[in-house]
Amino acid sequence: MGLKKFIIEPDIRKAETLPAEFYRSDEVFEIIKEKVFKNSWQLVTDLDKVKLPGSVFPYTFLEGIINEPLLITRDMDNNLHNLSNVCTHRGNLLIENAGVVNNLRCRYHGRKFEFNGDFKSMPECQDAINFPRPEDNLSKVPFKIWNKFIFASLFPKYSHEEIFKPINERLDGVIIPEMFQEPLRSKEYIVKCNWALYVDNYLEGFHIPYVHNSLNEVIDYGSYTTELFGHCNLQIAIAKPGGECFRMHEISPDYGNEIAAYYWWVFPNLMLNYYPWGLSINIVKPLTKELTKVSYLTYISDSTKIEKGAGSGLDKVEQEDEAIVEMVQRGMQSSFYKTGRYSPSREKGVHHFHRLLTAYLNDV
């Protein structure tokens, strides 16, 4: 029979939300892996991890649900590559640890590869016929550099440039000093909810006055807005008078406004939270249909502002979000809840997310 089609009405004023069964279904969760996550761009790491020629950075693409072993390398000409991290001889993991190496050599039987993934040599194969073949090279996997970050996708459905163009254009008008990483503020949370419920919660400021009292004290909820783009959307928080805000270039469409935070979401699971002190990144990683890992990465440009304005108390805000989405997860198990309605003024981002999700699932 195939997966039931989930349809979201384009007109938010008439639309109903995704039904509870969407979040409960094992079949939906499995198909989302194939149709959404394998086709999406995922943030892997930053360029600091592969600075030097000979650098290698093994990673697992969406560990827990996709589990594709991949490898970023920087060759001796300073070029980056993103490769399969599986030896083409007998399937052994090729590189186990990040660092700087002289060559790519499998420790199982000694097969070697160039830093660009091309087959180099193999012991005891002098008598092999039609060897090496193109299949003996490591597969190359699409990747892109954005600012200081490396992104990868197994089978990208849309170009990275197309997705990030609105973000680039908007940030051109914002004065953001160079950012450096503060590892002590980077952490992970395990949340007992479906990953899409966590994203739903992020994509609306509707709950701020009810859930985040400290955040509500520093932003003007009445002027909170959401802007929609192709594969991303933006929530803008305005600071209350005298609050911490960005400095802007005159070219910015937000010039003259006291912006406390830009909350960018990139389909399906990336959040880029810009504050006057720097950037906080959330990566939402499904583990099971009822369990989600949220990785936080923090890049600070002005440490004197770290506990001021909308970007302060992020641990408290995260804990408040976790508590509410875990209760929603429990509510989704109800025999009586089926589907809800969107607030046309406050839940444009959620509606946008649901429309994109169903388009991917329905192969639109």
Residue 244: CA count within 13 A, CB half-sphere:
20
Q: Which residues contact 228 (CB under 8 A, 6 or more apart)?
A: 348, 349, 352
> What is the rounded average pLDDT of the residues 322-330?
97
pLDDT number for residue 1: 43
Residues forming beta bridges with residue 84, ordered by sequence position: 70
- Inter-residue contact 260 to 218 (CB < 8 Å): yes
Give tens-digit pLDDT for 44-68: 999 999 999 999 999 999 998 999 9
The more confidently predicted of residues 306 and 72 is 72
Omega of the bond leading into 344 within 30 degrees of 0 (cis): no
Q: Which amino acid is at 323?
A: A
Q: Which residues contact 161 (CB under 8 A, 6 or more apart)?
A: 144
pLDDT at 124 over 70: yes
Of 263, 192, 211, 198, whose CA–CA distance to 232 is shortest?
263
186 confidence band (pLDDT: 50, 70, 90): confident
> What is the rounded average pLDDT of the residues 91-102?
96
Tell me the C-alpha distance between 242 and 203, whole Å.
Answer: 26
CA distances from 153 to 36, 38, 62, 70, 142 (A): 11, 7, 10, 11, 6
> What is the rounded average pLDDT of the residues 28-35?
95
Residues belonging to the chain: 364
Residues forming beta bridges with residue 140, ordered by sequence position: 83
Query: What domains are there in the chain, each with its CATH number?
Result: 42-145 (2.102.10.10), 178-361 (3.90.380.10)
The more confidently predicted of residues 224 and 186 is 224
